Amino acid sequence: MSTAEGAVAAARAWLAQDPDPETRAELEQLLAAADDGDADAAADLADRFRARLAFGTAGLRGELGAGSNRMNRVLVAQAAAGFAAFLRERAGLGETDPADVDADADGHADGDAHADTEPARVPTVVVGYDGRRNSRVFAEDSAQIFAGAGLRAILLPRLLPTPVLAFAVRHLDADAGVMVTASHNPPNDNGYKVYLGGADEGAQIVAPVDAEIAAHIDRIAAEADAAALPRSLAFETAPESVVEAYVEATAAVASASAGAEGLRWVYTAMHGVGWETVQRIVERAGYPAPITVDAQRDPDGTFPTVSFPNPEEPGAMDLAFATARDHDADLVIANDPDADRLAVAVPDEDAEGGWRRLTGNQIGLLLGWRAARLAAESGVTDGTLACSLVSSPGLQTVAEHFGLRSAATLTGFKWISRAPGIVFGFEEALGYLVNPETVRDKDGISAAVAFLGMVSDARTEGRGIRDLLNEFDETFGFFASDQISVRVDDLSVIGRVMSALRADPPARIGEVEVDRVDDLLTGVDELPPGDVLRYWLADGSRVIVRPSGTEPKLKVYLDVRGDSADDAAARIHAVTTAMRELVDTLSA
């Protein structure tokens, strides 16, 4: 059977189990066009069925559409059934017992979630969803399939930020959680993030659990018709008290000081789900209400004002900057669409448009400094400041200054959150964990509250954010970071660049010799293996190259430490220029 014939056969088999009229119509149109000899339709079919969207430590994430290589209701149903099978096996329950499923008369068990409504050994799964296309549908499908598998399924009461789901896993003492979100990905993407409770404390899954879940999903996809998977409407809806508990805990991260009075700050939810929750928390914590970017305040899965709903992307914060200029604001705070990331911008007369977004490393180092001071004031001596290995090494210097431990992990909060004794964690991609006793994941809302607390305390002393950044440099050293991101249409380009760098590692980067190369595929510093190359330069600079885990990008991270701000700026410019030339040459 040819590739084209195989894709057509797979598409027809897919149609037979797809419950979604939209994706069914989409696939039927493609099949009809391919039958009429349309080469583009045939190529599209081949791409949709050339592989299965892989389940890994990031769960599932991909473009919405029909086919095994897209995000859709068939794939989500199989993922939910596979995850349910994994949880039952882990609990020693074996195959699904229909006697475990007991629906109320209307099929729902709305209201408070009490553990004594199900047998003690039955695992509990909490399901949340954001405002992206199909998020609620995917969440309800999952809750029905979990309930149909005899699990206790609890659906959050409405679309909410990802940190609320991570909080709910621990708050409800659940065994697991699922969040339907693609975070800051392009508008037509969606995803499926998986968390574990118990000893994992509501953290995202890591290996080898991901492979175990994937094996169950693959088995179900091969053996069962998704339309025939057991479903039940006997899932519960979590009470509003769960959200209120998150609001209360997060407002307590940093109550407003006297310096908060008169603070003018702009907030954007970037068409995501952050605003409602943020509004309640900042009011509870005593901060002035923000000036909102009205066009981006409410959830809208089409993201009409941004081409890419990621605060890191050029242009994504332009409306926020315009709003800040109009209101002569002191500060801009942005969350990404599921509110697990935080961006901060400050007035800067030298920047285009008069506003400059702080880097993820700058925010992370300031928040890490805050966490270390609080730990010292509380008498904590065995806590850990953790960051991903591609984030600024300045955090280690902060930890050493305060007598705390430091840890550098593989990228992703699934690893950062597991650092023993963690009191703070961050990654340079705008992710921060400031309240580990509440949320064991990045949380852009609690990070925003912590940052507002720093700002209001500084204002009490007549100082601003620039003063804090300068004090950090004078205290801990002049660190500078940069990043090169190469987006590709052909993923083989990334593999080719990584292979070339392994086969012929550079002896020099710019004018500076390379002292040592770490290839993390072989395991380094007790880190799990990963597709990462790390270069240590003779002047103390560091360069890291790795493929993105969620997007078709090759990423290069550059860090230097200088004798002054000007020296650090010159060093980072030189190493960035040299690496950009090298990567461009290898990817051409």
Dump pLDDT digits (tens) for 242-273: 999 999 999 999 999 999 999 999 999 999 99
Quick check: is 245 in a domain? no
Quick check: is 117 in a domain? yes
Quick check: is 248 in a domain? no
Of 197, 101, 220, nearest in space to 153 by CA: 101
Q: Are residues 449 and 482 in the same domain?
A: no
Whole-angstrom distance, CA of residue 438 vs CA of residue 376: 20
Q: Among the three residues 455, 475, 495, which one is the final residue of a domain in this structure? A: 475
Write the CB contacts of 7 (distance below 8 Å, at least 6 apart in sequence).
42, 45, 46, 48, 49, 50
Which residue segment(s) compose the domain that 174 sits in? 68-238
Active site residues: 183
Cis peptide before 506 (omega within 30 of 0): no
Write the CB contacts of 306 (distance below 8 Å, at least 6 apart in sequence).
270, 271, 296, 313, 315, 316
Quick check: is 209 in a domain? yes
Q: Are residues 269 and 193 in the same domain?
A: no
Residue 567: which region, alpha, beta or left (left: phi > 0; alpha: psi -120 to 50)?
Answer: alpha
Quick check: is 55 in a domain? no
Quick check: is 246 in a domain? no
Q: Are residues 517 and 451 in the same domain?
A: no
Only one residue has tokens 């045939």, namely 42
Q: Are residues 205 and 280 in the same domain?
A: no
Q: Are residues 138 and 214 in the same domain?
A: yes
Q: Are residues 5 and 132 in the same domain?
A: no
Q: In this structure, what DSSP letter does residue 504 have? A: S
Check residue 115 and give its pLDDT.
43
The domain spanning residue 581 has which CATH number? Answer: 3.30.310.50
Quick check: is 247 in a domain? no
The domain spanning residue 435 has which CATH number? Answer: 3.40.120.10
Provide the domain count of the chain. Answer: 4
Quick check: is 253 in a domain? no
Instruction: List per-residue pLDDT tens for the chain, 588 residues long.
Output: 567 788 899 999 999 999 999 999 999 999 999 999 999 999 999 999 999 998 887 789 999 999 999 999 999 999 999 999 999 999 999 776 444 444 443 334 444 444 444 444 799 999 999 999 999 999 999 999 999 999 999 999 999 999 999 999 999 999 999 999 999 999 999 999 999 999 999 999 998 999 999 999 999 999 988 999 999 999 999 999 999 999 999 999 999 999 999 999 999 999 999 999 999 999 999 999 999 999 999 999 999 999 899 999 989 999 999 999 999 999 999 999 999 999 999 999 999 899 999 999 999 999 999 999 999 999 998 999 999 999 999 999 999 999 999 999 988 999 999 999 999 999 999 999 999 999 999 999 999 999 999 999 999 999 999 999 999 999 999 999 999 998 888 888 999 999 999 999 999 999 999 999 999 988 777 787 889 999 999 999 999 999 987 678 899 999 999 999 999 999 999 999 999 999 999 988
Q: Are residues 491 and 468 in the same domain?
A: no
Q: Are residues 467 and 506 in the same domain?
A: no
Q: Are residues 457 and 494 in the same domain?
A: no
Q: Among the three residues 191, 208, 238, which one is the final residue of a domain in this structure? A: 238
Q: Are residues 299 and 442 in the same domain?
A: yes
Q: Among the three residues 411, 443, 475, which one is the final residue of a domain in this structure? A: 475
Q: Are residues 464 and 515 in the same domain?
A: no
Dump pLDDT digits (tens) for 312-325: 998 999 999 999 99
Q: Are residues 356 and 382 in the same domain?
A: yes
- Reduced to 3 DSSP states, what percent helix, strand and coil does the chain have, rounded to the nearest 5? 40, 20, 40
